[in-house]
Amino acid sequence: MHYSHRIGDIKLLNIGEMAFICLDIRCLCIFLIYTTCDYVLSSDTEIKVNPPQDFQIVDPGYLGYLYLQWLPPLSLDDFKECTIEYELKYRNIDSERWKTIITKNLHYKDGFDLNKGIEAKIHAVLPGQCANGSEVQSSWSEATYWISPQGNLETKIQDMDCIYYNWQYLLCSWKPGMGVHLDANYNLFYWYEGLDHALQCEDYIQANGKNVGCRFPYLESSDYTDFYICVNGSSESKPIRASYFIFQLQNIVKPLPPDYLSLTMTNSYEINLKWSLPRGPIPAKCFIYEIEFTEDDTTWVTTTVENEVYITRTRNESQQLCFIARSKLNIYCADDGIWSEWSDEYCWQGDKWKEALIFFLLPLGFISALVFFVSYLVLYKQETIPKMVSCIT
Ligand SMILES: *[C@@H]1O[C@H](CO)[C@@H](O)[C@H](O)[C@H]1NC(C)=O
Ligand SMILES: *[C@@H]1O[C@H](CO)[C@@H](O)[C@H](O)[C@H]1NC(C)=O
Ligand SMILES: *[C@@H]1O[C@H](CO)[C@@H](O)[C@H](O)[C@H]1NC(C)=O
């Protein structure tokens, strides 16, 4: 950009010199002076663009999803053939980095953390090809927005925890703020793109008469989009500070543990561990599993995205082989996730079954032999007694 500007200056000089040299040739001279003057004039009256008008941040009541909107700069008629662009910068007031957007539109929408204020600025940009090579920028228009905080900080809810169980049931829980009066209670509102307006929780979880959680209804196409929550409250005695949260539901999924674990010896040194997908709507490709395998008294942990794994035995006389498994969403489906509970343990107990068999069969055989022997004795005696009697008589 600087380079092209310089070239412009040099050109100007050259034309000036030429005009001077040619002064004695009249008709040509007039023409040249005319063009020179014209050129100097236009580069003196710098190309300017006014800033965008009516820049404002509008809160449609979506708990953090805000509209930034503006109108074109005044006197744009000079650049009729040009598409003006806008450079928009915005951030939460205490964050260090601005988000920058270049757009030709007159609005932009994004999600913000309403616990803090928001500041934004915008300027109009005239592209280089409309302004003799170098881009021209207007001054900034600025706007700020914040929800004036009510109540003091301690009245906010604490320890908000939201889990999307098995990608099906969303449940949030929290603790009441400190030092709130007995009459204080909390309300949860939520919104995501697709809902006309923010909705209030319909199924609160309560403790001591206060709302401390919410069971959400079925949330249609609510994943892979920002999910906004506001928990505010009311109290007769003093106002309560609202809390705002933004997350994406796929990132807080806690699946069910894997089911139907099995362990088979493929040969004397290799073992195949297998399990089935947790029940529910989560596709097979979305899981990662953690397997904790125990061979006698050594344990190791491995992870896999398949629903089976082959493990080499370290000793072939190992007696006890056990494993447990748990599941989580993998990076192909979510940025984050919560591990499921561990499954029930599944064990293969080497030759123990033979011992068990002997342990059960030996006494059983012994008892049946005894029974047989006793009954034989009884029968034998019954036969011999009459004989003896007959002998006596
Ligand atoms: C750009 O420069 C040309 C000459 O190179 C001139 O005719 C034109 O008026 C200039 N445009 C503006 C917007 O100054
Ligand atoms: C709580 O937030 C909702 C949604 O923004 C709002 O409609 C309601 O008036 C607020 N309640 C209080 C007590 O501030
Ligand atoms: C382990 O099994 C292999 C056959 O797979 C056998 O050759 C070897 O002797 C066995 N070792 C022990 C210690 O039993």
Domain-wise residue ranges, the chain? 5-44, 53-145, 156-253, 255-350, 359-393
CA-nearest residue, atom 3 of ligand 2: 189
d(CA 367, CA 357): 15
Quickly tell me which residue has 């892979």 as its tokens.
224
CB neighbours of residue 43 within 10 Å: 14
The two structure tokens encoding residue 390: 């007959």
- What's the pLDDT score for residue 164? 97
Of 274 and 133, the one with more pLDDT: 274
- What's the pLDDT score for residue 22? 40
User: First-to-last CA distance in the chain?
Assistant: 142
The two structure tokens encoding residue 68: 């930034």
**pLDDT band at residue 8 using 50, 70 and 90 as cut-offs:** very low
Pocket test for ligand 1, best of 40, 77, 132, 136 (most atoms within 8 A of CB): 132
DSSP string of 4-18? HHHHHHHHHHHHHHH
DSSP string of 296-343? TTEEEEEEESSSEEEEE-S-TT---EEEEEEEEE-TTT-S---PPPPP
Of 69 and 129, the one with more pLDDT: 69
Domain at 53-145: CATH architecture: Sandwich (2.60)
- pTM here is 0.73
Each residue of 1-21: b (16+ CB within 10 Å) or e? Answer: eeeeeeeeeeeeeeeeeebee
CA 165 centroid distance within chain: 14
Which of 31-40, 284-293, 342-351 is the most confident on average?
A: 284-293
Is the separation of the CB atoms in 247 and 278 below 8 Å? no
Q: Is the model's pLDDT at 286 over the cut of 80?
A: yes
Is the separation of the CB atoms in 273 and 309 below 8 Å? yes
- What's the pLDDT score for residue 4? 37
Pairing of strands 253-254, 158-165: parallel
Superfamily of domain 255-350: Immunoglobulins (2.60.40.10)
User: What's the whole-number average pLDDT of the chain?
Assistant: 83
d(CA 371, CA 21): 139
Superfamily of domain 156-253: Immunoglobulins (2.60.40.10)
Of 46 and 297, the one with more pLDDT: 297
Q: Please give the single-letter amino acid code of residue 374.
A: V
Q: Is the model's pLDDT at 209 over the cut of 80?
A: yes
- What's the pLDDT score for residue 162? 97
How many angstroms is it from 175 CA to the middle of ligand 1? 67
How many angstroms is it from 350 CA to the middle of ligand 3? 15
Residue 222, burial from CB neighbour count under 10 angstroms (0-12, 13-18, 19+): buried
Question: Is 28 in a helix, a strand, or coil?
Answer: helix
Is the separation of the CB atoms in 58 and 65 below 8 Å? no
**C-alpha torsion 353→359→364→367, nearest 10:** 170
How many angstroms is it from 184 CA to the middle of ligand 2? 14
Question: Is 77 in a helix, a strand, or coil?
Answer: helix
Q: Is 47 close to ligand 1, i.e. is its CB under 6 Å away?
A: yes
- What's the pLDDT score for residue 390? 53
The two structure tokens encoding residue 266: 């493929």
Q: Is 4 close to ligand 1, i.e. is its CB under 6 Å away?
A: no
Is the separation of the CB atoms in 104 and 82 below 8 Å? no
Q: Is the model's pLDDT at 166 over the cut of 90?
A: yes
Average of pLDDT values for 225-246? 94
What percentage of the chain exceeds 70 in pLDDT?
Answer: 80
What percentage of the chain exceeds 90 in pLDDT?
Answer: 57
Is the separation of the CB atoms in 241 and 150 below 8 Å? yes
Is the separation of the CB atoms in 352 and 322 below 8 Å? no
Q: Is the model's pLDDT at 31 over the cut of 60?
A: no
Average of pLDDT values for 95-103? 95
- What's the pLDDT score for residue 69? 97
Pairing of strands 85-92, 259-265: unpaired
Q: Is 129 close to ligand 1, i.e. is its CB under 6 Å away?
A: no
**pLDDT band at residue 33 using 50, 70 and 90 as cut-offs:** very low
Q: Which atom of ligand 1 is nearest to the CA of 130?
A: 13
